[in-house]
Structure 1
Amino acid sequence: MNPRPSADGSIARARSPLAPSRPSSRGHAGSFLGNSGVNTPRTVGSTRASTAAFHLHASGGQKYFRSRRIRDVSTIDRPWTDHKDPSRKWHTVFPLIGIFIGLALAGLMTYQGYSSVINNSYCSVYEVDFSTQRELDPDVWTKEVQLVGDFAETTNTDENVFIKDGELWIKPTLQDADLINKNSVIDLTKQGICTSDAWFDCHAVTNTTNGTIVNPVKSGRINTRKGASIQYGRVEVVASLPEGDWMWPAIWLLPVDEKYGPWPASGEIDILESRGNNYSYPLGGNDMIGGTLHWGPTFDTDAWHRTNAAKKALHTTYTRTYHTFGLEWSEKYMFVYINSRLNQVLYVPFKSALWPQGHFEAVSENGTRIVDPWSQTGRPSTPFDQKFYLILNIAVGSTNGWWTDGVAGKPWVDASPVAKRDFWNARDQWYPTWQENGQMRIKSVKMWQQAGYQGCAAK
């Protein structure tokens, strides 16, 4: 290959791309060193084409080496050398500001929620764990004996209320068959054991001619009116509910003194009501519980439907296992709960008087407008501003609408004059459902008085 003159007239030196950039210490290694030591071009016959392929023209006509395996640096992205847009920083700043504001608001809401929780002080009024008891304390508990509005006669015998295996049991049983099959009379007043002042609560008759019978079932109903009551406070009952068709278990409170008139003018607090029927009962069986306040100036104006709520168990029932049925009651609110204060069944705030909430101003009785018995107190919680006592019981049946006619094989009709007899005649259907777990079992009862009332001092 002939050497080509460079721009300045000198001979351009070409070397193999694999040759060293400087002369080797070995004499024969220098591609362009002659014997005289003068640089001369090396003619490579067989490698002429391949050598030329690795030479590019540089500026000024000079050649430089460039490997085809190395990417041209002019095509490599170097973003750090680009001109930066000042506005792009806000793409990061704004989300960070949003996150900070969100965290601040979450913290504020958490603090406000925590600080708004009311934790009143209480004094213990009554606490009992039945695992340490052999019988009910007669200074606290009363076994009611009466023929109440349902199908059960409540008794004071150990047949229906007793302590067994460290638990208080309330268990319904069948009435004596002779009192139903023959003409007979139950006169609790004459026996001197009736605990009610109402005549119809103490007397019942079986008349085989017209089909009326005495109460076909016996059961238990006990209360703490004698020894434990509260005006604002808390109640907790740990219990397991019964299984059995047409049973009606309840944990509730009534006023010690009916300051505003007969029921429901002085109020009623239902911590728990349920049904012993199984989950298939359309209105809710032993898988559902309800809480209710009863209030109204007359029997027919009870506004319970305005303060009523229910809670269904998730994939289970309220039988066989124990649950805490609770009440928290203050001058500003009342709620009932199960197992935890956070698991509320019913919440009723006392922000304004109950009279206008019930819309009683438009109600009249015998042509006379009903008088408001509550607002003169100036307390929104009236009539729930007086002492109440606790009641535990299991009712059976009834004709007040708790059981809907024609539903789930109900064997009686509420309006029928022989409803009790029809219920009794169907005992082969419902009584077998009572056998396995037909009792309410109570482990403990606790009652607390809120500080500031009834002599309870703040701690």
Structure 2
Amino acid sequence: MSVEATPRAGTPDSAMATAVSQHKKSANPFLTPYASEYPSRNTSSAALHQTMLTQRYFHSRRVKKGQVERPWTKIKDPREKWVTIIPIIGLLVGVSIAGLLVWDGLRSVVNHKYCPVYLEDFANGLDSKVWTKEAEVGGFGNGQFEQTTTTDENVFVQDGMLHIKPTLQDPKLVTTNNVINLLADGICSSSVWSDCITGTNTTNGTIVNPVKSGRINTKKGAAIRYGRIEVEAKLPQGDWLWPAIWLLPVESKYGEWPQSGEIDIAESRGNNHTYPSGGNDIISSALHWGPNDANDAWWRTNVKRNALHTTFAKRFHTFGLEWSEKYIFTYIDTRLLQVLYTNFNEPLWQRGHFPLSDSNGTRLVDPWSQTGNAATPFDQDFYLILNVAVGGTNGWFQDGKNGKPWVDASPTAKKDFWNARDTWFSTWKEGGEMVVKSVKMWQQQGYKGCQ
């Protein structure tokens, strides 16, 4: 005996059964087929939305509002309050510790007081009582190719700004037998004969300096021992240019270079950013110190800094130095953007880890220990130098890199450089000079009469 099951109301089966019965009553051929009519209708977004609106949730008629017991609201755990108190205490302790650390950091920041030594904006030209134009042809110990002059061709003030501009040498002096004798002219700034006299010999291939440039210093008019210096300048662009803002000691108290020290605030190259060691998009700061030139420990106190999305030849920057008995640091534009930072927390002789003797077997002697000052040799008067060098044979420009047209060890390096002038001189046409807006020097209080 078979029993026909009746579909439960509200299910798809019941909908289909109803559709079948209606289909049997209707002979309209345009009606929706019974198998899809109700399922498709009931699953449409409109039908679902209507169902949600008309749906009623279960509601008990026996339980009145407020009659259900809630014992958890009457019994409270006394420890529950610590869930709130402990995080608040932790937050307050954290804020207190952070505040203490900030206070301690601000308290430890050194803010020295200074006396102005020299504040120059070049509105009245180049002050000859402060500045000296150096005249030399000897390469300044680096084999540099420029002759530094005392003329306005290479160092001049224009529109209230100082310009240091390299130029080509007189071709006649380079291509024919000639002599440049600065001693005879009475203008040589060095006492060394080879720094004052040079010549062209067409037989052996030696030539005079193929370019001219400028180098000026404040030795006779402005020097500091601990203090600050700021030079606002735009560095040059152009292949094989070597701009520098730096200091040397007024007196070589501890011996010849580098025993008495050197402070380089900023050095760069005029080549573009493709130069491997960094072109005009990078400056470096360094301290030079050591028992002799073969053991110069500059590499222990040398740092480079990149320009941010630009070059140092595109716009003016402030190149600064802050120097005290305890530390020395250089910076760009703000004291917060430091380049080199050196603490004088141990004697430099110990920091240098110098060998016992040089390559000839001569014992190396500490030239600074007698002072008892960890900052020695950086504890004496230094003066400022601004210059734009050209080329050189000391390795500042590496052999074989970026089409360098000379080899450092070659006896004809200057001539090779001159012969390639068509490749590099054109890169000097726009921006091939150092332009200086201002120079500021301050003496730290407590030294050299600054009270």
For Structure 1 versus Structure 2, the TM-score category normalised by the shorter chain is 0.7 to 0.9
- Note closer, same or farther for the CA distance 1:442–1:78 as it changes in structure 2 (3 Å cut): farther
Question: Which residue of structure 1 aligns with residue 421 of structure 2?
Answer: 427
- Note closer, same or farther for the CA distance 1:413–1:77 as it changes in structure 2 (3 Å cut): farther
Question: Which residue of structure 1 aligns with residue 327 of structure 2?
Answer: 333
In the alignment of these two chains, the number of paired residues is 390
- Note closer, same or farther for the CA distance 1:75–1:271 as it changes in structure 2 (3 Å cut): farther
Instruction: Give the percent of matched residue pairs that are identical in Structure 1 and Structure 2.
Output: 63
**CA deviations over 1:415-452 (Å, ceiling 9, x no partner):** 11111111111111111110011111100001111111
Within the candidate set 113, 119, 124, 2:111 is matched to: 119
Cα distance in structure 1, aligned partners of 2:368 and 2:423: 47
How far off is 1:100 after superposition?
A: 1.3
- Note closer, same or farther for the CA distance 1:86–1:217 as it changes in structure 2 (3 Å cut): same
- Partner letter of residue 98 of structure 2? A
Within the candidate set 160, 175, 179, 1:181 is matched to: 175
Question: Which residue of structure 2 aligns with residue 143 of structure 1?
Answer: 133
Question: Which residue of structure 2 aligns with residue 98 of structure 1?
Answer: 90
- Partner letter of residue 144 of structure 1? E
How far off is 1:237 after superposition?
A: 0.5
Question: Which residue of structure 1 aligns with residue 381 of structure 2?
Answer: 387
How far off is 1:300 after superposition?
A: 0.6
Question: Which residue of structure 2 aligns with residue 343 of structure 1?
Answer: 337
**CA deviations over 1:232-278 (Å, ceiling 9, x no partner):** 11111011111111101000000000001111110000001011111
- Name the TM-score, length of structure 2 as normaliser: 0.83
Runs of 4+ residues deviating >6 angstroms: 69-72, 74-77
Q: What is the DSSP-based 3-state SS (H/G/I as helix, E as strand, rest coil) of the residue aligned with 1:403?
A: coil
Which runs of structure 2 are paired with 1:30-69 in the superposition (5 Å)? 68=60
How far off is 1:456 after superposition?
A: 1.1
How far off is 1:70 after superposition?
A: 9.2
- Partner letter of residue 128 of structure 1? E
How far off is 1:76 after superposition?
A: 7.1
Question: Which residue of structure 2 aligns with residue 42 of structure 1?
Answer: none
Cα distance in structure 2, aligned partners of 1:350 and 1:104: 33
Which runs of structure 2 are paired with 1:336-375 in the superposition (5 Å)? 336-364=330-358, 366-375=360-369
Cα distance in structure 1, aligned partners of 2:342 and 2:388: 26
- Partner letter of residue 102 of structure 1? G
Cα distance in structure 1, aligned partners of 2:421 and 2:208: 15
- Note closer, same or farther for the CA distance 1:78–1:429 as it changes in structure 2 (3 Å cut): farther
- Note closer, same or farther for the CA distance 1:79–1:389 as it changes in structure 2 (3 Å cut): farther
Q: What is the DSSP-based 3-state SS (H/G/I as helix, E as strand, rest coil) of the residue aligned with 2:82?
A: helix
- Rg comparison, structure with higher value: 1
Structure 1 unaligned segments of length 5 or more: list them: 1-65
**CA deviations over 1:55-74 (Å, ceiling 9, x no partner):** xxxxxxxxxxx965897658
Q: What is the DSSP-based 3-state SS (H/G/I as helix, E as strand, rest coil) of the residue aligned with 1:104?
A: helix
- Name the TM-score, length of structure 1 as normaliser: 0.82
Cα distance in structure 1, aligned partners of 2:447 and 2:256: 24
RMSD, aligned CA: 1.9
- Note closer, same or farther for the CA distance 1:316–1:72 as it changes in structure 2 (3 Å cut): farther
How far off is 1:200 after superposition?
A: 1.7
**CA deviations over 1:27-73 (Å, ceiling 9, x no partner):** xxxxxxxxxxxxxxxxxxxxxxxxxxxxxxxxxxxxxxx96589765
How far off is 1:84 after superposition?
A: 3.0
**CA deviations over 1:354-392 (Å, ceiling 9, x no partner):** 011111252335322111110100000000111000000
Within the candidate set 175, 192, 209, 1:198 is matched to: 192
Question: Which residue of structure 2 aligns with residue 59 of structure 1?
Answer: none
**CA deviations over 1:398-431 (Å, ceiling 9, x no partner):** 0101011111111111111111111111111111
Question: Which residue of structure 2 aligns with residue 277 of structure 1?
Answer: 271
- Partner letter of residue 234 of structure 1? R
Q: What is the DSSP-based 3-state SS (H/G/I as helix, E as strand, rest coil) of the residue aligned with 1:362?
A: coil
**CA deviations over 1:338-364 (Å, ceiling 9, x no partner):** 111111100011111101111125233
How far off is 1:121 after superposition?
A: 1.3
